[in-house]
Structure 1
Amino acid sequence: MKISVRNLEPTKVRLTVTVEAEELNPYLDAARKEIGKQVNIPGFRKGHVPGKIIDQRVGFASVAGEAVNNGVPELYSKALNEKKIHPMDQPKLDVKEVPQSPSDETKLKFTAEVEVRPKFELPAVEGMAIEVARPEVTDEDVDKRIEALRQRFGTLVGVDRPAKKGDYANIDLDAKIDDKSVDSQEGVSYELGSATMLDGLDEALDGLSAGEETTFEGTLEAGEHQGEKAQVSVKVNSVKTEELPDIDDDFAQEASEFDTLEELKADVRKQSEADAEGRQATEARDAFITKLEDGLELPVPAGVKANMVEERLKNAQTQGDAAKDAAPTDDQKKEAEEAVEKELRDQMVLDSLAEQLDVKVSQTDVTNFLSSIAQQYGMDPNNFINAIVNNGQLGSAVQEVGRSKGLLAGMRAVTFKDTDGNVLDLSKFLGDEAQEEENESVEAASAAAAVADQVAGKADKSSETEASAE
């Protein structure tokens, strides 16, 4: 197989692949065998039709077409491996030449344009030292947590006075447009100052007592008349204020399993310190990735970036409060682009790190990873993994596991210190390397097939091939 590579952009290449006859023949033979299982030819049993007969009866063009469909994606992958090219997206494949008969000496030739990871060298992680801020838990931190716990045990008590910010009012609402009622609600509990309902409601309720009512203009937030102005009548049925318990031993007994406030505070401090350690581990991870990227020129694939930015903006629009037809602002576009660029740079660096450390991905790694995601979304793990396989997304899952393992392996090789020079023990967050090595390791590509066979029963190779050829 002859492979030439032309750099189109810093992150895009065109491969031209010319396939020798002896390399194409196995795909032609496999195509003849598969076609032979599907056709009825007098004198021959299905699946036992000689290749020459298939060429004569069905036509060599059909055989070559089947061979090209199955062979090009595999040959493309071999070309990537041989040239050590790391794709970041699906390729654009274009078949240029195909032999027209068994005796035709024309060689299969195709091109593949694909966005790729740029070439760069990471610093060695062995001996690397990184400083991370020391986690501190103050009395103020503990008091804030105690206060948050106290809020959960508050009770609402009726008051005979005008409503003010922080009070809870039980109200009736009636919205009218052109003197016609378009929406009404009764007995709604609303916290003054929360700004969670109609625009102008907080101002209208401020100073009203039980039994009083008023009218204001507001913009409807939902329903058939969403976005329209309406005259809203609001009546206050009752006003309640929140009473909080005193912070003492009685509160400790009510809110926890402890008998005294001091015991509760000690436990809250312990939890706060554990959370601080978790934050420190996260900061160590971010500092490690930043250290790896320091000084590197990492252009990101333009097409991949554009697609990710578009998807991010679409998701933000769907989940946000803005009208769905509103175009993203320049600030939103800029924020999305910066976030996507960082995500892509981090991905490229972690992929390279996993290769540098010769990280292997096991079938157990991938199964556990996908099962954990399924559980987070309340899905059946087997059904979820089956869907991943059938959608051709298993390779992405394997790659994600490889990044995670590479990150952990890299961080284990680094010395992390706090600002006082003390070495940090992050083992509880980085896991046990010895345990990982007990798992049977396989190459990433093999892991995909193994998980597919084990969990889904069969690998939907056709979907993966179609995805590769798009």
Structure 2
Amino acid sequence: MDITVEALEDNKIKVTVTVEAKDVDAAVKKTYRDFAQKYNFPGFRKGRAPRPVIDNALGAEAVMATVTEDVINKAYPQVVESEKLFPVGSPEFGDAGMVEAGKPFTFDFTLSVKPEVELTSYEPVSIELPVAGVSDAELEEQVTALREHYVTYEDASAATKMKPENYADLAIKATDAEGADIAAISTESRLYGPATGMLSEAFDAEIMGMKKGQSKEFSLEVAEDEASVLLSAQAGKTVSFEVTMNVVKKKVVPELTDEWARDTMGFEDAADLKARVSESIEAQKADLMPRMKESACVSELIKRFEGEVPEALAEEAEANLLQDFFTQLQRQNVSFDAYLAQQGMNAEQFKADVKLQAADEAKQQLALDAWARAKGIEATDADVTAEFAKAGLDNPAQVEKEWRETGRLYLIREGIVRAKAMADVMDTAQVTEVDYAAQAQAEKKAKKAAKKKAKKEEAADAPAEAAEAADAE
């Protein structure tokens, strides 16, 4: 075949293909032979009908139209393979007419192809990952979380005022604008913790400073987008409250002692518990770290992406994501409506989310392609063959041949190149280890110190303000 590739705008190419006369004649011969075998022609044994008889019965133009279609369908995948094209979507064929016996045949098609974007830099990416091993702060964080599962709530003294860190046993009477009781909220006794998402921040502010036995009445305008567990059904409405503080509660977290570790948790002692928790953290890190590193590298690589993602590529990525998503739903025997309800979203929000994911997916693919070109990373024939061998097929060589003949090997090459590029990005990445647990502890301490300082300053300013008010009088 003689092949000419012409670059067009918008990542499209026009490919002109000329098939040699001998190949056209071979296709003509094969088509007549197939028709002779397929149909019964009176007076001739199956497979023995001559061309004039077939032409007379089926029409010479119909036969040549079939030959033309076969020639194009056979040539197209060969062109994709020989020119190492990466199609996006389906080709658009021009009007080439029909083949003629003894003559070469020329046809053309327009095809959207994967664009060759550039990155702002091909230097190693810099990423942050959790520290290797198990830090003291990580161990402390996990042990504390474990102890939190066994928390108890004890009554505070009658003089204790409600604070954000306390819990409360509340009697609540809630009514709507018409004075009707709101059964979902009203209760004689409810253990309540501020900022737990059960009621709103405005409700929390109202009960601060209350003591045991005190009662209070107030009304709240519930926001349209209220997300709290008990108030969401009242969004956009006014709710009136009568609240009585039955008792202020202190949250008590058990101390990590040998007795607690043994009697409650079933370990030999506190040291044994810490050792087991440490092993668990290490195992989790070993499982998650490769994926975390890949995700961090991809994120940094996408930041270096220049240009726009072609619409056809974004649509292809979206179609693949949707196919994988609905296949997974089917396996889990979960309906789409049930999934939306679980996620708290509607169909339009889901669609928008998928589009964003598809755009990121397309950017990731193009960024890896760019990295591979810059680093000279390729997929060899041996790589392709090995990929089929790894698939566990009964006859990998035959399947590879079929993929080659149908022009689909570019998909395998593309996957191999991107996998190699991703491995190279990860291998060369400059990693900074961060103890996130220690960071969180430091931030918590800093906030606590700032809050304490603000209270001291507020207390110091109070006498001065009182003096100024007395002087004014």
TM-score normalized by structure 2? 0.56
Q: What is the match of residue 77 of structure 1?
A: 77
Cα distance change on mapping 1:170 and 1:131 into 2, 3 Å = closer
Say yes or no: does 1:109 pair with 2:107: yes
* Counterpart residue number, 2:236: 229
1:303 partnered with 2:307: no
Q: Unpaired runs of 5+ in structure 1?
A: 369-388, 421-470
Matched residues in 1 for 2:24 and 2:233: separation?
A: 63
Distance in 2 between the 1:39 and 1:208 partners?
Answer: 97
Asked if 1 retains the 8 angstrom alpha-carbon contact of 2:68 and 2:98, the reply is: no
Structure 2 letter corresponding to 1:95:
G
Q: Superposition pairs for residues 8-87 of structure 1, below 5 Å?
A: 8-9=8-9, 11-25=11-25, 41-43=41-43, 53-69=53-69, 71-87=71-87
**Are the counterparts in 2 of residues 132 and 287 from structure 1 also a CA contact under 8 Å?**
yes
1:245-303 deviations in whole A, cap 9, x for unaligned? 22222343367553121222233334444555667655765798899999x99767523
Distance 2:77 2:388 in 1: 21
Aligned ranges for residues 249-264 of structure 1 at < 5 Å? 249-253=258-262, 258-264=267-273
Q: How far does the alpha carbon of each residue in 1:148-197 deviate from its partner, in whole angstroms, 9 at most, with x for none?
A: 22223335678898876574879989785878899957889875313367
C-alpha change, 1:48 and 1:327, in structure 2 (3 Å) is: same
Residue 8 of structure 1: CA displacement? 1.9
Decide which of 387, 398, 404 is 1:362's aligned counterpart: 387
Correspondence for 2:442? none
- Any unmatched runs of 5+ in structure 2? 326-339, 394-402, 434-473
**Counterpart in 1 of 2:98?**
99
Picking from 193, 196, 202, the partner of 1:194 is 196
Matches within 5 A, 1:328-339: none
- Report the CA distance between 1:355 and its aligned residue: 1.4
Q: How does 1:211-360 map to 2 (within 5 A)?
A: 215-218=219-222, 219=224, 229-232=236-239, 242-253=251-262, 258-275=267-284, 281=290, 302-304=310-312, 306-307=314-315, 340-347=362-369, 349=371, 353-355=377-379, 359-360=383-384
Matches of 2:217 and 2:414 in 1, distance apart? 58
Structure showing greater radius of gyration is: 2
Alpha-carbon separation, structure 1, partners of 2:298 and 2:348: 38
Shift of the 232–397 alpha-carbon distance from structure 1 to 2, 3 Å rule, reads farther
Tell me the alpha carbon deviations over residues 351-409 of structure 1, each in whole angstroms, 9 at most, x when there is no partner. Answer: 973516952343464469xxxxxxxxxxxxxxxxxxxx9xx9x9798567635753587
Alignment partner of 1:96: what SS? coil
**Aligned partners of 1:99 and 1:105 also within 8 Å:** no
Which residue does the alignment assign to 1:402?
416
Task: Give the Cα–Cα distance (whole angstroms) in 1 for the partners of residues 343 and 152 of structure 2.
Answer: 33
Closer/same/farther in 2, CA of residues 308 and 103 from structure 1, 3 Å limit: closer
Structure 1 counterpart SS, 2:85: coil
Higher helix share: 2
Distance 1:367 1:174 in 2: 65
Q: CA deviation at 1:97?
A: 0.7
Deviation per CA, 1:297-332, whole angstroms, max 9, x where unpaired?
Answer: 9767523455379789999xx798677668999xx9
Asked if the contact 1:313/1:336 (under 8 Å) is kept, the reply is yes
Q: What is the CA distance between 1:144 and its match in structure 2?
A: 0.7
* 1:85 aligned counterpart, secondary structure: coil
Q: Does 1:154 align with 2:166?
A: no
- Map 1:391-430 to 2 at 5 A: 398=412, 402=416, 406=420
User: Residues 97, 339 of structure 1: CA spacing in aligned structure 2 closer, same or farther, 3 A cutoff?
Assistant: closer
2:297–2:425 CA contact under 8 A, matched in 1? yes
Give the direction of change, closer, same or farther, for the CA distance of 1:150–1:41 in structure 2 (3 Å limit): farther
Match of 1:6 in 2: 6
Aligned partner of 2:451 in structure 1 is none
3-state SS, counterpart of residue 6 of structure 1: strand
State the one-letter code of the partner of 1:144.
E
Name the CA shift for 1:408/1:16 in 2 (closer, same or farther; >3 Å).
same
- TM superposition shift of 1:16: 1.9
Paired residue total: 384
- Secondary structure at 2:379's aligned position in 1? helix
Deviation at 1:346, TM superposition (A): 2.0
TM-score normalised per structure 1: 0.56
**What's the counterpart of residue 453 of structure 2?**
none
Partner-residue secondary structure (3-state), 2:89: coil
